[in-house]
Amino acid sequence: MRILVHDYSGHPFQAQLSRELARRGHDVVHSTCTAYVSGKGDLVSDTPGLRFVTIGDGTALRKQAYFRRLRQETLLGFELARQVRREKPDVAMLSNLPIPVLVVAAVLRRMGVPWVLWHQDVTAVALRNFAAADVARAMGVAARVFGAGEKWAAHRAAAIVVIAESFVRVHEEWGTAGKVTVIPNWAPLDEIVPVERANAWSAEHGLDGVRTVLYSGTLGLKHNPVLLVRLAERLRQEGAPVRLVVVNDGPAVPVLREAAAARGVELTLLPFQPYARLPEVLGSGDVLVVLLAADAGEFSVPSKTLSYLCAGRPVLGLMPADNLAAHLLRQAGSAVFAPEESSLDEACAWVREVLADPARAEALGKESRALAEREFALEDCASRFEDILRSVHLTSAR
């Protein structure tokens, strides 16, 4: 088959899937968006039958400029549709698309190209929750408009892959559950590997011999970045000073910088690092932290958790207890607490115990990696995706 996979974000495991599909003899075009700023995977082709392409002119999305962003994302949707028309795939799979891009791309079937929705986040539920919490009143209107668009696109997809069972309920409400398959996300075991705590990257950034609490990844509306600063502040107050290391580009950066300065927290704040150095970045954290807001658990599974497990480090999850990622962390022996300031006493106590007991920290890291190796086998995931794509293609060709 000739397959086009568009992952708007350019994340590691989607690119790994495209490589595996190409190794199985398919002609694969993997498309990403240059406008979306995040940590990227390995987007250089080293596999026969695989080609990487992009949409966007490199101008970053201004996430807080809503009307400008809406226009930009709509234009990106048209650009993606033109790209699909040029590439002429037998089947397309779309992942991580903002609703304006997704709605425009949903006209693909009119071009004779069946497509699969790889549903990573239920945006309509997210916006509805944020509006209810008064994060932004305008989101109440956006939730209704985008919700209608997301539902419309789901009805036009030939098949839908969701990343957790909790997403199925939304598709039952939309009347699209009959074409849903649940395939949890994973992380590339052969690309994100455990490394020594003292490594070249930690030395470059003055982190050798410094106890660190590290966060690497996106920080957006689903997160409360000040909670990271409060965690580090509480650890210092309780006699366990740490360096807070945050690897991120985006609107959380000035918030973190201001909060750390106000509270006297030692902060190393760095932009997203080259993907090839991600093992060193994660290996430089004595404890890795993942954040997810209480009302985000049903529509999002933070993929950074999966990378953390591959890196073989102790992980602190400040997130809803019923989230799929929280379940994985508990399996690995790491800790999960509610994403609220009232949980920081327990969270700090756990971090202090890990920092004070190198043998325990090592054991937690080994169990993290062991769990990743048990759960993230690429072969089975790739076969399931291949079966879905083949079925969609054959049904369309009849």
* Chain segment 108-139, per-residue pLDDT in tens: 888 889 999 999 988 766 555 554 444 445 55
Helix (H, G, I), strand (E, B) or coil at 157: coil
Q: Is it the case that residue 196 has pLDDT exceeding 50?
A: yes
DSSP secondary structure of 173-200: HHT-GGGEEE------TTTS----SS-H
| pLDDT on residue 63 | 62
**Cα R_g (the chain), whole angstroms:** 21
Residue in 41, 24, 23 with CA at minimum distance from that of residue 32: 41
> Which has more pLDDT, 139 or 47?
47
CA distance 66 to 158: 30
At 391, which helix (H) or strand (E)?
Answer: helix 378-397
Please tell me the least confidently modeled range out of 53-62, 258-267, 333-342: 53-62
Q: Distance between CA 6 and CA 118 in Å, rounded?
A: 10
Domain positions in the chain are 2-186+377-397, 200-375
- Tell me which CATH code domain 2-186+377-397 carries: 3.40.50.2000
Q: 356: burial class by Cβ within 10 Å (0-12, 13-18, 19+)?
A: exposed
| Shared fold status for 2-186+377-397 and 200-375 | yes
The yes-or-no verdict on residue 147 having pLDDT over 90 is no
Beta strands in the chain (DSSP E): 2-7, 27-33, 50-55, 91-95, 115-119, 159-162, 180-182, 212-216, 243-247, 267-270, 287-291, 315-318, 335-337
> Would you call 74 exposed, middle or buried from its count of C-beta atoms within 10 A (0-12, 13-18, 19+)?
middle
Mean of per-residue pLDDT scores for the chain: 90
The pLDDT of residue 171: 94
Look up the pTM and report it.
Answer: 0.89
Q: Which of 81-85, 139-143, 154-158 has the lowest mean pLDDT?
A: 139-143
Of 152 and 37, more confident: 152
How is residue 285 written in tokens?
Answer: 């954290």
Amino acid at position 248, single letter: N
**Coil/strand/helix, residue 268:** strand
pLDDT, mean of residues 58-87:
83
Percentage above 90 pLDDT, the chain: 69
- The topology under which CATH files domain 200-375 is Rossmann fold (3.40.50)
pLDDT of residue 131: 45
> Nearest CA to 257 among 368, 237, 224, 266?
266
The gap between the terminal CA atoms of the chain, to the nearest Å, is 15
b/e code 185-203 from CB counts within 10 Å (16+ = b) = bbbbbebbebbebebebbe
Percentages helix, strand, coil for the chain (3-state, rounded to 5) are: 50, 15, 35
| Separation of alpha carbons 361 and 356, rounded Å | 9
All residues at 6 or more sequence positions from 124 whose CB lies less than 8 Å from its CB, including other chains = 99, 143, 146, 147, 150, 151, 170
Query: Are the C-beta atoms of 243 and 212 separated by less than 8 Å?
Result: yes
In contact, 313 and 247? CB cutoff 8 Å: no
pLDDT at 141 over 70: no
**In the prediction, which pLDDT does 64 show?**
61
Q: Residue 40 has what pLDDT?
A: 87
Q: How far apart (Å, rounded) are the C-alpha atoms in residues 193 and 197? A: 12
Range with lowest mean pLDDT among 11-20, 56-65, 89-98, 100-109: 56-65
How high is the pLDDT of residue 383?
97
pLDDT digits (tens, 9 = 90+) for 4-28: 999 999 999 999 999 999 999 999 9
